[in-house]
Amino acid sequence: MRTTMLKYSMRTFFLSTLAMLLFAANSSAVNVYFNGSTSSDFLTATNWTPNGVPGNNLFDSYGIDDGLTATLSSGNPIVNALRVGSVDKTHGTGSNHYGKLTISAGATLGVIGSNALSVGRENQVYYPVAGDYNQNTVVDMADYVLWRDTVGSSTDLRADGDGNNVVDQGDYSYWRSQFGNVVRGGEVAVTGGSTLNANGILIGERTRGVVSIDATSTVNARIWDTTVTPNQFGGTEDVRIGGYGPAYDDFGSEPGLNGNGLLDVKGNFNAKDVYVSEHGSTGELRLNGPGKINLNGTLHMDFCGGCVTDPVGLAKRSSTVSIIGSGGTFNVGLDPDSTVVDPSPPPRDLLAASTTATLSFTADAGGVTPIVIAQNTTPEPSGTAYITGANLVVDLSAYLSNTPLTLISAPPTHLVGTFGSVKFLGGRSATVNYDMANGKVFLSNFHLGAGALAGAAVPEPSVFALLGLALFIVAPRTRRISSAG
């Protein structure tokens, strides 16, 4: 995994140190704002004010908003901090705080400050987006599922995109034409074999934030620092998807925030800890097809810092992991180098024991990609999957085989709890099996109909090869007995 991470050479280190000394002469860091035209060059000096082009600037904070898009298509600049979308409450040069950064053509961007990359910062209300049938701020596969489940209806018109008062084929065509639209806040798109390295990422801090990684690209939230002895990971290393939401009221003065984050992984994503819906917001970590997610630390889906504790308040938050298709990789708690013993290893668990956590799996013809809690080589610790009370959502429409599907694979005895609710979308369902001894949650006994069968004896799962399967939407903990949601 180290080979995918940014390794700073001594040359880069000296350049960075020189940049810091030069900018220190300014006495204090400044906020530098993008002022170019839509889709103009990130590295063009005249597109930034007041300090000009970012190069190796380890001092200032760069911001992209005012409805503008910056494109980085060459080079490997390093900056201290970057805010994309709703940059600063004091930045009032435009009423549109939306901003986007597109990294393409094999370029590399390093953002090295602590929690340095923030996408979607300032609180904004929800603005309807064409084709967003379920109003989750993005036009995606979930809107197709809603259309499919209501097609033919003249009473449930949530998916009536063309406004003819019936959900029909025209609404499917309308959805396809709008696919990918998002509520304006902040977006970072890593495309074309490019790399983004950041010491911590906040996605959807107070409004909608989206980070997407295409099939050829990589995002590293951990930086392997070769300038120190012994070499080590540096920076905050955390990724927070969904920040401050309507359930957050820590001081009694900030209710009604709209933190809403999406990290859409079709390529490679490497990090330490990931928090989904950190402060009562809406957050989704999505793995598409053959994408790869490798976490050295913990996947947090049950943490709600500063949240109100009443059931109504907590119900306003939503923590989702969605796995779409098969052939991908989803590792939690994976030791990045088995030859080096970490003197202070992090916790390496799946923490999804919450009624507001959802694990969602959408199968393709090959099945699904399982969430794997890595079994590390002793003395490195291995994590545990905690799923008590979480929600499980499964769509088996495209899976026609009867071969069992593994959803969660943990080390033996490292599975705790059962899902609190189970829901099958489409016309096919199965029995949900919990093999605590071998750390497996798997599906078997596939049949037509929406209701999952109550499992009796659980087959020995070790005889089933771990299929390269794919998850659609991660749901909160469920019970040992599978049931219809």
Rounded to whole angstroms, the Cα distance separating 465 from 222 reads: 32
Angle at 452 between CA 392 and CA 289, to 5 degrees: 45
Domain assignment of residue 229, yes or no: yes
Domain assignment of residue 96, yes or no: yes
pLDDT at 193: 97
The letter for the amino acid at 15 is L
Domain assignment of residue 205, yes or no: yes
Domain assignment of residue 47, yes or no: no
Work out the mean pLDDT of the chain and round it to a whole number.
79
Domain assignment of residue 44, yes or no: no
- The model's pLDDT over 180-205, given as tens digits with 9 standing for 90+, comes to 766 668 899 999 999 999 988 999 98
**Does the pLDDT at position 210 exceed 80?**
yes
pLDDT at 120: 87
pLDDT at 135: 75
Between the CA of residue 256 and those of 213, 219, 374, 389, what are the distances in Å? 30, 31, 38, 26
Contact status, residue 425 vs residue 451, Cβ threshold 8 Å: no
pLDDT at 128: 59
- The model's pLDDT over 229-264, given as tens digits with 9 standing for 90+, comes to 555 555 557 899 998 888 887 665 555 677 889 999
pLDDT at 251: 61
Domain assignment of residue 423, yes or no: yes
pTM: 0.77
Angle at 373 between CA 372 and CA 377, to 5 degrees: 115
Domain assignment of residue 409, yes or no: yes
Domain range holding 307? 62-475
Instruction: Label residue 457 by pLDDT band (50, 70, 90).
Output: very low
Q: How many structural domains comprise the chain? A: 1
pLDDT at 339: 74
Domain assignment of residue 484, yes or no: no
- The model's pLDDT over 128-181, given as tens digits with 9 standing for 90+, comes to 567 888 876 678 888 899 999 999 999 999 999 888 999 999 999 988 888 876
Instruction: List the single range of 187-201, 206-220, 358-372, 448-462 with lowest mean pLDDT.
Output: 448-462
Rounded to whole angstroms, the Cα distance separating 196 from 5 reads: 10
